[in-house]
Structure formats: structure tokens, C-alpha cells
Amino acid sequence: MAETLIHARDLVKIYRVGDNEIRALAGVTVDVAGGEFTAVMGPSGSGKSTFMNLLGCLDRPTSGEYVLAGKRVSELAGDELAEVRNRNIGFVFQTFNLLARTAAQENVELPLIYAGVPARERRDRAMEMLAKVGLAERAGHHPGQLSGGQQQRVAIARALVTRPLLILADEPTGALDSRTSLEIMGLLQELNRQGMTVVMVTHEPDVARFARRILRFRDGRVVEDEANAHPDDATALLAREAVAA
Amino acid sequence: MNVVALLRVAMRALAVNKLRSALTMLGIIIGVAAVIVMIAVGAGAQARVEEQIRSLGANILLLLSGATTSGGVRLGFGSNLTLSEDDAIALQRELPEAIAAPALRGSAQVVWGNQNWSTVIFGVTPEYLEVREWEIIAGHGFDPTDLAGATKVCLLGQTVARQLFAGADPVGQVIRIRRVPFTVIGVLEGKGQSLMGTDQDDLILMPLSTARKRVLGVGTLAKQRSVGTIWVKVREGYDMKAAEEQVRGLLRQRHRLQPGQDDDFSLRNLEEVAATQEASSRVLALLLAAVASVSLVVGGIGIMNIMLVSVTERTREIGLRMAVGARTRDILGQFLVEAVTLSLIGGIAGILIGVGASFAIAQVAGWRIVLSPESVVLAVAFAFAIGVFFGFYPARKAAHLNPVEALRFE
């Protein structure tokens, strides 16, 4: 077993809406080792999004402890969290969240700008990542000139460009057709095979089956933590589909 | 993120909504243009006044003979010649700091050849030109022997020279003033308009004695030594107020005025007259300043408004930037630079329009304008300050968004 990357203990998150308290997370304890591919599932309101926000250092737990790669990030605030996000976490969103009217390459460079990387190195690393996701020749295209799948690849390149410890994907295939979904899942599986830790939120069982571990949330708790010994191989499925067609 | 990168991001964001950006800048453009015009007009007016003071001669006190009361009807200054040449001599003697030049004024028809012209005659002493700092550009001035002998020589102002001689050389020619033949011995340099708008070059100067005996003098006036005005030039650096008091005191004493009795002469400090004029042009500048400041504030509010809209529109972008590692100061900087870029571009456009408007005013209204680099620097500084001041709140709002909520914003 590789060393523990994510060490979450009794994470509780309470939102206050008017006089009501909403217990979004009611004590979640999860460890994720480096190199895992974990799917997080659950109905809406189950707390899975809150959990991902905490993992992504976008939010702080009301109580509990979160250690990321040996660092107690649950005690950090504001700009320190921004730095952790910048260095250690790559985000992939359902709606891609690319900057409009901005070339793919510049979109990929964005995290490096905030990391203070010089322009020349930024460009080289962005091009390298675009090549890795198979979009080297589209570097100058704006998001509007790219298909959904291509946009998500740019987003994945952006997530990878800071060489993070962890990719957090929030419904990465939610806005894509099934064939493009397979391509994106194939890419994430490939990255995982190369050693990248991936945590992915999805509500589609088909998509979750590509992960090697599935966490199920309900009412702010982890109700099931299941290892998937034989995950589907997205690339193989895609090849089979191509033959069938 | 460095400033250049921030500037690129800002320019791109502003270019997305070109019309909106342009409309937002309008307030700043008008405000800055008003600042530029205000300073140009104000400085121009001041320069004009300074020039006029110079044309009168600096540090001048003007003594006018008092008014006559004739059966309850007051006839105005100079109607009774209460001043005399002896007053001027006494002033000269008692006030070593000053030069006193008496002058007797009258009007006359002058003729040369088949040309004639109605103008003002001044009988003066040689000190007059010194007091007025008036140069002779052709020929020469008169000297004490002319004064003593009441010789029939005269100096022509530019306007008279032009009207009578139309380009010919007047020096040495003989003109007739009230039918008396005079030899023109010199021509004065042009002085332009006075503070009151009269043509200072439309005059003829001649020795005081000549004027009294041969032209203006009729009957008793010829025998008296009275004069209409005495010009007093005080040495540079001498306190004008003190000089004024000394002159007044001396004249009251000579005229044997009792304490409490009104002066039988009038004493004017020409710089005060000029200052009054300057004050009126300052009113206009103040008015423009009011327009400018209102417009700048309104422009600033416009920028704040549009920046708040922009922050709301781009909430997701802000969320994303935060997710990939933008710190509070990165977001703050981005939106602040955007606001400042907006106001600075508006400022530069305002400067161009202001300079253009200033020239247009100079052309159309005939006002003098003075454009100074300082006003441009001031305008840019103003625009910058407006951008920072009104951009700060929206930028702060953006920088303190919650990344989770920002990313989820629809």
C-alpha cells in the first residue's frame, strides 16, 4: 500500500441558513492512498460535493481534521489554502470552467501564473500538457472553437500543469455524450496508471465503475466503501465500440 | 501576477464589452477634459492679465485729478484738475523710491497730407516713457530742452502712425495737430489693449509744456501748471501699500486737506485693477472645476457600477481563478487594474478632447489658453486616483468571494 495522501478524520461541515443549521457532513473519516482512483457517489444532498470542496481546500471543515500529504490543511486559511490548491490539487469541473476568448494554451498556463512561473517556462509546460492530452495542435484555439471533449481535455491539462498530488474531478463527464465520456475516462485512467491520484464525484454508476474504489455517501456520511477489483477499461470499451460501429 | 500580465487580462476583459467600457469612460472623459480646459483657460487668463500689467508698466500708482461738484452735479475724475506739475516734482523729491510723471490729456484732430485722424494727445515729461516702460522703435524721444522750449515735436503711437502714414516712415514728417504743425520725431512700440479694452497705441505724446501752450491750452489753463494725471512708478521690490500711503499723505498735505476731508484726487493701484480682472476669469475656472469634479465623481461611480456588474458576471471565472490558486491580492489586483485601466484610458481620451476643446475655445472665443504639462499630469493623476478609489470596493468584493459559491454561481 502506498503512503496515505488524504487523511480525513471526523470531517463535519455545518451550514447556517437563517436560523436553520444544515449538517452537510456529519463526520466523515476517509483515507486515500497515493495512486488510488476513487469514485464518490451518492444522491444530491448526500454531502459528496461538500466533501469534495473540503478535499479541494476550497472550504474549511467546521470540525475534524484533514491532512493532505502530511500537511494539516484543515488549519489553514485564505491565501495559504490558495497556495495548497495551486501546488497540490488539480481541478476538473463538469462545465470545464475554461476562460472564454482565451487560447487553450493560456488556459492551461493559468495556474502557473499564480505560481509565479516565468512566461517561457509556463508556455513550455502548457504545451507539454496539451501534447499529453492530445491537443498540441489546438493550443491556439479558444474554448468556443473546441468540442466539449476537447474542452475537458484542456481542463485536464490545466489540472495537470502544476504537477499536483491529486486530481479532483467533479462530474467530469456530466456535460459530455457517452462516447466522449469514454475518451475522458480513458484519459483519467491513463493518468491514474501513471501514478496520479484521482478522486471523482459522479452519480452515474457506469462512470463510477472505471474507478478502483467507490465511496457512497448518504446524509453526510460514508455509508459504503467498496473496492472495485476489476474496473472497466474505458480505452478498451471505446475500441470495442469502434469495432461494433 | 505582474502588472503587465494584469494589464493584458484587464484589456481583454474590457475589450469584450467595448461599448459598455466606452460608455463607462464617458464620465471620466468629460471630467478630465473639463480639468484640462479649466486649467488652460485659467492659466491663459492669468497670462493675459500678467501681460497687461507688464504693458502698463509694473508697480504703477495712478493719480487722477479729483471730481468737481458743480451745483450738486459731480462731474467725474479729471473734470477739475486738482493735480499739478509741482505735485509731481514734490513726489519726485520726497519719494526717492519713485519716479513721477505728470500727464495732461486732451483730444485732437490730426492731419497729414490728405489723411486725418482723431486721437488722444498726452502732454508728458520724458519720465513718462520710463514709467510706462515704453520703447521708441523709430526716431528718438524728446529731451528737457524740448520741454523747456515747448518745441512742436511729437511721438506717435502705433495706431496713429498706421492711420496717418499707412506704412510710410513718419519720422521727420510734419503733421498738423489742431492746425498747429508738429514734427514727428519718433514712433512708439505697440502695447495693445489696456485692461479696460481701449487701444493704448491710439495716442500722440508731446512735451507737457507744448501741449499746454500750443494745443490744449486755452485761456487760463495755459498759465496754470495743473495736470490730469500723475503716473508714479515705484522701485521694484518696494512695498506698494506703503508707497500708496506715502503718496496719499504727501498730496493731502500739499493740497491742505483737513483730516476727515475727502481726497481731491484719486489714487489707483493698477495691479489691483488687474487682480480684479483676474478674479473674474477665476470665477469661470471655478465653474469649470465644479463641472469637472462632479463629472469625475459621476464617472467614478459609473466605473464602480460597471465593475460591480463585471464582478457578478464573472463570478465563475473568479471562482475558477481561486480554485487554481489565485490569492486574495491576485483577484484584488486584477479588478483594481481593470478599473484603473478603464479610468486611465478615459483620462487619456479626456486629455485629448480637453486639448482639442481648449484650442477650439481659443479659436472661437478668442481667449488666450495656456496648456501646461502639469495639467496633463494632474489629469492623469486624477483619473488614476478615481480608478483606484472607485475600483477598490468592487475589487475587494471579488477578492473576498467564497470560492465554493463562486464556482457554483449560475
To test the contact with chain A by mutation, choose from B320, B322, B409 the residue with the greatest count of A C-beta atoms within 10 A, namely B320
Architecture (CATH level 2) of domain A4-244: 3-Layer(aba) Sandwich (3.40)
Residue B252 and residue B132 in one domain: yes
How confident is the model at residue B141, as a pLDDT? Answer: 85
Say if residue B383's pLDDT is above 80. yes
Residue B173 and residue B241 in one domain: yes
Measured between beta carbons, the chain B residues lying within 8 angstroms of A58 are: 322-323, 403-404, 407
pLDDT > 70: percent of chain A: 99
Q: Where residue A74 falls among pLDDT bands split at 50, 70, 90?
A: confident
Mean pLDDT confidence for B209-221: 72
How confident is the model at residue B191, as a pLDDT? Answer: 82
Q: What is the secondary structure of B69-97 as a DSSP string?
A: EETTEEEEETSS--EEHHHHHHHHHH-TT
Domain termination site, one of B213, B243, B263: B263
Residue B162 and residue B231 in one domain: yes
A114 close contact with B: CB closer than 8 A? yes
How confident is the model at residue B68, as a pLDDT? Answer: 53
Instruction: Print burial letters for A157-187: b (CB count within 10 Å at least 16), e (below 16).
Output: bbbbbbebbbbbbbbbbebbeeebbbbbbbb
SS (H, E, C) A60-80: CCCEEEEEECCEEHHHCCHHH
Q: Hey, are the CB atoms on A82 and B326 less than 8 Å from each other?
A: yes
pLDDT > 90: percent of chain B: 23
Say if residue A3's pLDDT is above 70. yes
How confident is the model at residue B76, as a pLDDT? Answer: 57
Highest mean pLDDT among A228-237, B31-40, B187-196, B390-399: B390-399
Q: How far is A162 from chain B (nearest CA, A)?
A: 9
Candidates A77, A230, A159, A162; CA nearest to A172 is A159
Q: Is B377 exposed, middle or buried (0-12, 13-18, 19+ CB in 10 A)?
A: exposed
Measured between beta carbons, the chain A residues lying within 8 angstroms of B404 are: 53, 58-59
| Residue B270 included in any domain | no
Q: How far apart are CA B273 and CA B253, in angstroms?
A: 26
Residue B245 and residue B311 in one domain: no
Number of independent structural domains in chain B? 2
How confident is the model at residue A1, as a pLDDT? Answer: 47
| Mean pLDDT of all residues belonging to chain A | 92
Domain termination site, one of B263, B285, B318: B263
Residue B230 and residue B134 in one domain: yes
Name the A residues in 67-96 with CB < 8 Å from any B CB: 78-79, 82-83, 85-87, 91, 93
B329 close contact with A: CB closer than 8 A? yes
Q: How far apart are CA B263 and CA B87, in angstroms?
A: 14
**Closest partner residue to B325 among A101, A102, A115, by Cβ?**
A115
Residue the block writes with cell 489546438: A138
Residue B92 and residue B241 in one domain: yes
Residue B214 and residue B280 in one domain: no
Q: Hey, are the CB atoms on B324 and A102 less than 8 Å from each other?
A: no
Q: How far apart are CA A170 and CA A41, in angstroms?
A: 11
How confident is the model at residue A2, as a pLDDT? Answer: 61
Q: Which pLDDT tens digit goes with each residue over B298-348?
A: 889 999 999 999 999 999 999 999 999 999 999 999 999 999 999 999 999
Identify the closest residue of chain B to A52 by CA–CA distance: B404
Q: How far is B343 from chain A (nearest CA, A)?
A: 23
How confident is the model at residue A169, as a pLDDT? Answer: 95
Q: How far apart are CA B191 and CA B102, in angstroms?
A: 20
Say if residue B57's pLDDT is above 70. no
Residue B251 and residue B301 in one domain: no
Mean pLDDT confidence for A165-188: 93
| Residue B131 included in any domain | yes
Residue B254 and residue B142 in one domain: yes
How confident is the model at residue B78, as a pLDDT? Answer: 53
| Residue B392 included in any domain | yes
Q: Which pLDDT tens digit goes with each residue over B224-258?
A: 778 888 888 888 778 777 888 888 888 888 888 88
To test the contact with chain B by mutation, choose from A80, A87, A114, A129 the residue with the greatest count of B C-beta atoms within 10 A, namely A114
B317 close contact with A: CB closer than 8 A? yes
Say if residue B71's pLDDT is above 80. no
**Closest partner residue to B326 among A56, A97, A114, by Cβ?**
A114
ipTM > 0.90, yes or no: yes
Higher-scoring residue by pLDDT: B115, A67: A67
> Picking from A230-244, B20-34, B193-207, which range would have the lowest pLDDT averaged per residue?
B193-207
Q: Which pLDDT tens digit goes with each residue over B251-280?
A: 888 888 888 777 788 888 877 776 776 777
Candidates A165, A106, A156; CA nearest to B1 is A106
Cβ atoms of A198 and A187 within 8 Å: the answer is: no
Residue B118 and residue B168 in one domain: yes
| Residue B69 included in any domain | no
Name the B residues in 10-49 with CB < 8 Å from any A CB: 12, 16
Q: Hey, are the CB atoms on A58 and B404 less than 8 Å from each other?
A: yes
Domain termination site, one of B263, B283, B307: B263
Candidates A101, A99, A199; CA nearest to A158 is A99
> Picking from A119-133, B213-227, B305-319, B368-382, which range would have the lowest pLDDT averaged per residue?
B213-227
Q: Which pLDDT tens digit goes with each residue over B104-145?
A: 888 888 888 888 888 988 888 888 888 888 888 888 888 888
Higher-scoring residue by pLDDT: B346, B3: B346
| Host domain of residue B338 | 3-52+275-408
Residue B97 and residue B236 in one domain: yes
**Closest partner residue to A110 among B324, B329, B402, by Cβ?**
B324
Edge-to-edge strands of the sheet including A71-72?
A20-33, A4-17, A63-68, A71-72
Name the A residues in 42-61 with CB < 8 Å from any B CB: 53, 56, 58-59
Say if residue B220's pLDDT is above 60. no
B280 close contact with A: CB closer than 8 A? no
Q: Hey, are the CB atoms on B325 and A79 less than 8 Å from each other?
A: no
> Picking from B274-283, B325-334, B372-381, B395-404, which range would have the lowest pLDDT averaged per residue?
B274-283
> Picking from A178-192, B278-292, B297-311, which range would have the lowest pLDDT averaged per residue?
B278-292
Measured between beta carbons, the chain B residues lying within 8 angstroms of A114 are: 1, 321, 324-327, 330
Residue B26 and residue B100 in one domain: no
Higher-scoring residue by pLDDT: B78, A100: A100
Identify the closest residue of chain B to A84 by CA–CA distance: B325
How confident is the model at residue A185, as a pLDDT? Answer: 95
How confident is the model at residue B301, as a pLDDT? Answer: 93
| Residue B403 included in any domain | yes
Mean pLDDT confidence for B58-63: 80
